Amino acid sequence: MKTGTEASSSGTEQRLLEAAGEVFAEYGYRAATVRQICEKAKANLASVNYYFGDKDGLYLAVLRYLHTNATDIYPPSLGLQPGANAEDRLHAFIRSLLHRLLSEGRPNWHIKLAARELIEPTPALDVIVDEAIRPLSQELESIIVELLGLETNDEIVRLCMLSVVSQCGFYHHSRAVISRLYPAQNFGAADIERLARHVTQFSLSAIKSLSMKTKAETE
Amino acid sequence: MKTGTEASSSGTEQRLLEAAGEVFAEYGYRAATVRQICEKAKANLASVNYYFGDKDGLYLAVLRYLHTNATDIYPPSLGLQPGANAEDRLHAFIRSLLHRLLSEGRPNWHIKLAARELIEPTPALDVIVDEAIRPLSQELESIIVELLGLETNDEIVRLCMLSVVSQCGFYHHSRAVISRLYPAQNFGAADIERLARHVTQFSLSAIKSLSMKTKAETE
DNA sequence: GTGAGTTTAATACAAGTGTTTTAAACGTAT
DNA sequence: ATACGTTTAAAACACTTGTATTAAACTCAC
């Protein structure tokens, strides 16, 4: 019997991970069934038990697998070249996040699964936060610090950071409502670009305004 | 056998609706069990079947019940007196929404259930959008139109509206992440007030800036 | 080629789910 | 008080779920 975590490329194990990732991302941990995953992976029902012990082990393995390929969720291209100015970096950050959250492509279950964990946390959320979310949020915070200028405090930075990511996340998990509120709204590549421009402009205006305000207060 | 939709105040029926509302809001339609609901309602297991036909009928009845008491989710106090200026109305709107979304009180399953429907839609989402969400969004849009001035277009209004509500919604469904990112963050009444001030200020700055920009462009 | 170890396959099992059935308790008009 | 419709109560049923069991098929060194 196979056990442990070493990645034997037995084929089925890999297929199970991919299938489980998609199914978990689509239906959530509880609603996803082992049978459904095995069917999609073209594997036998007992295989998930054989390779991962139980359903929970499979889920943890998927999260580990997700984190191993963390470059997918946290790509280097996200921040442009480090020398770029803060405005452009903010735009790139928002653009990248929105594309990942809204693109309909098949292999984007990574971020959907992470987004699901945010909303419906399992004990695995802690490692996700530490290893995937926090680096992202810190990068965004550094951009915002640069935009706000030096005279600011951590709470304002944090609130602005959350205001930015909230706008991106909203279009992901509330897509169903938006589609019903505005049936004409689509989410093609061009729409995402337009969205990114708006979020950037909206946030940039707000942050700059806050920057002036705090400057005025400290004078 | 009782059937139909007339509200016989048999006691248990009412208790079932309240209990189901809480449980559905907390665990979601699928994860919620009728046994759990009946236990909380101190009703027999078969009662949900007796009064509502099946679990789905109970869920629909809860949504209808929620909409009947829609003043809870859409309170008149939300918009201050109609004569108030747009800034104050925006602040009141955000404050009210955040309080409803973040307050830990018991009887606030209404908005939590609605928020859950947004993320994980069931066929019932359509009526929720039409009867609860759309009025809210239109009120917010009218505030934003007033803030933007006359020279604007629908898309900008819509994008700004979504930017505002996204910030509020984010603190609701991503609370778990925020708590982990910033363990010091609490969500007491005072914190909510601070949050509301930030969201208002952030959004107001952005909208005003957009207003000036479109004015400049049309001149 | 053989045989031990590994992987796959098919089925069975126990627990939990929504639902149904059956009967008992209750309320109320006559 | 009685009879009838309504409501509650308890148990059973059918189904799905995750998991365990068992045997067959495969792999590959010797």
What secondary structure does DSSP assign to chain A, as a single string? Answer: ---SS-----SHHHHHHHHHHHHHHHHHHHH--HHHHHHHHT--TTHHHHHHSSHHHHHHHHHHHHHHTHHHHS-GGGG-STTS-HHHHHHHHHHHHHHHHH---TT-HHHHHHHHHHHS--TTHHHHIIIIIHHHHHHHHHHHHHHH-SS--HHHHHHHHHHHHHHHHHHHHTHHHHHHH-TT---SHHHHHHHHHHHHHHHHHHHHHHHHHHHHHH-
pLDDT given for residue A24 in this prediction: 95
pLDDT given for residue A7 in this prediction: 44
B88 touches B80 (CB < 8 A): yes
In chain A, the residue whose alpha carbon lies closest to the alpha carbon of B162 is A167
A174 touches B169 (CB < 8 A): yes
Percent of chain B with pLDDT over 70: 86
- Distance (Å, whole) CA A97 – CA A35: 32
pLDDT given for residue B77 in this prediction: 58
A109 touches A25 (CB < 8 A): yes
Q: Which of residues A138 and B80 earns the better pLDDT score?
A: A138
pLDDT given for residue A22 in this prediction: 94
Question: What mean pLDDT comes out for the span B14-33?
Answer: 93
A106 touches A212 (CB < 8 A): no
CB-proximal positions of chain D, under 7 Å: 6-12, 16-22
pLDDT given for residue B3 in this prediction: 47
Low pLDDT (below 70) residues in chain A: 1-10, 70-82, 105-106, 214-219
Q: B1 beta carbon < 7 A from strand D?
A: yes
| Cα torsion through A77, A79, A82, A87, rounded to 10 | 140
Of A31, A205, A206, the CB nearest to B30: A31
- Over 70: is that where the pLDDT of B39 sits? yes
Q: Count Cα neighbours of A49 within 13 Å in the Cβ-side half-sphere.
A: 5
Average pLDDT, chain B: 86
Tell me if B126 and A180 make a contact (CB, 8 A cut-off): yes
- Over 70: is that where the pLDDT of B81 sits? no
pLDDT given for residue B7 in this prediction: 45
- Work out how many CB contacts closer than 8 A connect A with B: 119
Q: Which of residues B206 and A151 earns the better pLDDT score?
A: B206
- Over 90: is that where the pLDDT of B158 sits? yes
The string of pLDDT tens digits covering residues A109-156 is 888 888 888 888 887 888 788 888 888 899 999 999 999 987 888 999
pLDDT given for residue B106 in this prediction: 65
The string of pLDDT tens digits covering residues B116-131 is 888 888 877 887 888 8
Tell me if A181 and B125 make a contact (CB, 8 A cut-off): no
pLDDT given for residue B161 in this prediction: 97
Give the pLDDT band of residue B145 (cuts 50, 70, 90). very high
Report the predicted TM-score, pTM, of the whole model to 2 decimal places: 0.85
- Distance (Å, whole) CA A101 – CA B22: 30
pLDDT given for residue A147 in this prediction: 94
Q: A35 beta carbon < 7 A from strand D?
A: yes
Asked which of A158-172, B81-95, B156-170 is least confident by mean pLDDT, the reply is: B81-95
